[in-house]
Each structure stands twice: as C-alpha cells, then as structure tokens.
Structure 1
C-alpha cells in the first residue's frame, strides 16, 4: 500500500449504514442523563412527601377565631354601631328594624342588625334545657351608612332609645371591638351547624343557669318608683335573667317586664 493513498472499503463495509451508529449513540444513556433522571425522580418523591406532610399537619382554621371573623367582615359596606334598647326588647328591636329598613327603602344604607346571643342550660324544677339568651342585655348592633335618613329610621324604631355615644353623630366601633362583639354570633352559628352533624366544639359546653323564681310566686319590687309594691310572677326567662310580673296600677292588673335584680322574694 502506498503512503497517502486512501483506504478502500470492502463491499461489506460499504453496506453498513452509518446512521445505526448515530442512533445507537443517541439511544445509549450517558451517566449524566441517568443522574439527571434520578435527581428528578428524587425531587418528585420529596415534593409528594412534602405535600402529604402539609396536608396532614395543616389544621382547619377555627371559624370563630379573630382572623377568620376579620376575613368574613372584610369588604362589607357600612360601619358597625351600638344601639341602646329597652331591656328585654333586644330581639324585638332587631325584628322591628329589619322590617323598617325594608318598608322605608333603607336597604342601601342599613345592612345588618345583630343581637349577640349565647347558649346556656337552664335548670328549672330539676330539668335541664338548652336555651338561648341575650349576651348583652339592653344593646343591639347595626351595620349601616350614617346618612341622615338612615339615622332617623334607626333612631325612631320602636324599642330603640338611641345610639351609644354622641346620639346625633355616633362613633362607629373599631375593628377589634366589632370582632369581639360578633364572636358570640359566629360561635352560635358554628355550634348549631356542628350539632346538626352530631358534633360539638371542644371546650364549648354551655354555662348552666338556675331559675331563681317560679310562675305564680309572690315577689316585692325593688326599683323606683315601685319599691315595696307586691306583684305576682307571670312568666320567667331564666336564661336572660328576666321575668314578667303582674302588678296593680290604677286599679288594673298590669304586666311589667323586669330583671331578677329588680325584685325579691316575698317573706
């Protein structure tokens, strides 16, 4: 063979396709590719484990927590104000105002009325009964725009004695106060929902109250101007610590709504 002469391929070598070698090289995994695949697989397993741990470790948020209530109130129109009401008329004020805000076309200014309630076990004659009672006797909450006509609609509602604070220009509640006052409302909603499912919130057992008075019992009034006047109990609301007595005024038997503290047992 002469130097510099080109090497001639045999017929067999000429028939061997070069593409096969390229394909084989392409199909054969390199060490780097295999390592990348192993890393990706390991990352996927780690991600799955982390997601599983997060699903197990992240508890459901308590809907009665301040943060949850704050989010629930976020974006609602109007501000919250406190109303003075006649004692024992809180729920009636809520009903009256909800009717007036519709009949007076004030639904664009008065949005919501709440009377915070709580559940208690009332014990009467040895029997225990679950009842609702007013959490803040003599008060109600209203969410509204403080516009003149809206103010007048609320102020003139039967049972309302005025706004807390400056009556003509009342100051709205701060956000922390709103959350604090509305927490019982949310707690009662949650308690009822859980009870419907046969469940209960841990540590949320209602308080127990005992009826001090009974229907038909004779009592003595201790409030002005009727101090010392006798009366007979006609109805008892132990949960709210209130009762209705029948007393004689101007020769007629008249029902009067009082609190337990405004009467005493007759000797």
Structure 2
C-alpha cells in the first residue's frame, strides 16, 4: 500500500523523482512489489476489487488494476534503477531507446486520488444510483440514461431507450461517466 502524502501527489519532487512503469511476470505483481520495496524503492500497485464466481461460490478478490504492471518512483541520476530488472517477479522496466520511459505527468497522481485507505482504487466513486450517465465504450457509446444499479463485480445496470423501448443494459462501470 502506498502512503499518501503531499509529496506523493506532486508530479516531480525536489529530488527529481518521476514515476516509471515496471512489467511483472504473470500474476506476480504482489511478489514484485514486495521485492522492490525490500530494496528501498517506492512502489505503487493500484488494485481493485473483483467478484469471482468459482464452483458456484462468489468471493471478492483484490486484483491489480493493470495486470502485469506496477509503478516505481525513481530518480534515474541517483538510484540504481537497473537492479529492478533482476528483481524476482519483474520482467523489465518499460524502456525508451536507452532509458526508462517516465509516465506522463499527472497520470499516477490522478490514480492516487482514487485510492482509498485500504489501497483499493475506487474508479467508480463518482457514480451513484439514480444519476444520469453516458456510455463511453461499446455499441451503446454516447447513449444517456439513468444508472439503475451498481453491482459489486465492477458492473452497472443502465436504463437505455433502444428502438422506442426502455431496456436495462449491464455494462462495465469503466464504460460509464457521470453527465
């Protein structure tokens, strides 16, 4: 979990640190995070809750928001960033031609604002049952209707008018935005 402070929300701190993307092995984000933090790196692994149905039982599990990736804050001139590539659970630092590519300013900081006290990114926090939403992805893009229900498995039910009838459609929460 990332400790959220004012210095964490600044784009580049006084030491010249920036956020970089690290690719991890399949389903090894937590292992990579643990090992990078043990080496003294500041790591941000955004996670989300997902409801999983297995053997007719539902359970809620924490999954990486970006499977196979996490963020590391570095100062390339001061820190030994090449050691990241040899860390257990890590495939590589995402590179440009010869240096790691920094994440564009404001991206990680924006995600950090959606992280709650348990370290879970609540990207749907701005949605509320009954409000009017716009569909941003899929075949119903730009359709507008009331949000009927938010399901715990990152899905939402929206009432849309299709061919003159009101139809309740189930969509991923990420496909909606508040109007």
Is TM-score (shorter-chain normalized) higher than 0.5?
Answer: yes
1:79 paired residue number: 18
Could you say if the C-alpha distance between residues 173 and 146 of structure 1 is closer, same or farther in structure 2, counting changes exceeding 3 Å? same
Alignment deviations for residues 199-237 of structure 1 (CA, whole Å, 9 cap, x no partner): x9864753269xxxxxxxxxxxxxxxxxxxxxxxxxxxx
Query: Out of 38, 43, 46, which is 1:113 matched to?
Result: 43
> Take 2:30 and 2:90, find their aligned partners in 1: how far apart are those partners?
11
Shift of 1:189: 3.5
Could you say if the C-alpha distance between residues 88 and 173 of structure 1 is closer, same or farther in structure 2, counting changes exceeding 3 Å? same
The root-mean-square deviation of aligned C-alpha atoms, in Å, is: 3.5
Match status 1:146 vs 2:92: no
Shift of 1:165: 2.7
Q: Which of the pair has more CA radius of gyration?
A: 1
Which TM-score applies when normalising by structure 2? 0.55
> Take 1:167 and 1:115, find their aligned partners in 2: how far apart are those partners?
25
Query: Out of 93, 96, 118, which is 2:32 matched to?
Result: 93
**Gaps in structure 2 of 5+ consecutive residues:** 129-149, 156-179
| Greater per-residue helix proportion | 1
Residues 215-230 of structure 1: matches in 2 within 5 Å? none
1:253 paired residue number: none
| Greater per-residue strand proportion | 2
Shift of 1:188: 6.6
Which TM-score applies when normalising by structure 1? 0.39
Alignment deviations for residues 7-46 of structure 1 (CA, whole Å, 9 cap, x no partner): xxxxxxxxxxxxxxxxxxxxxxxxxxxxxxxxxxxxxxxx
> Take 2:56 and 2:64, find their aligned partners in 1: how far apart are those partners?
23
> Take 1:125 and 1:188, find their aligned partners in 2: how far apart are those partners?
31
1:170 paired residue number: 100
Match status 1:189 vs 2:118: yes
SS in 2 for 1:174: coil
> Take 1:136 and 1:169, find their aligned partners in 2: how far apart are those partners?
22
Residues 256-267 of structure 1: matches in 2 within 5 Å? none
Determine if contact 1:100/1:153 at 8 Å carries over to the other structure: no
SS in 1 for 2:26: coil
1:219 paired residue number: none
**Gaps in structure 1 of 5+ consecutive residues:** 1-68, 102-109, 193-199, 210-267
Query: Which structure ranks higher in relative contact order (CA pairs < 8 Å, sequence separation ≥ 6)?
Result: 2
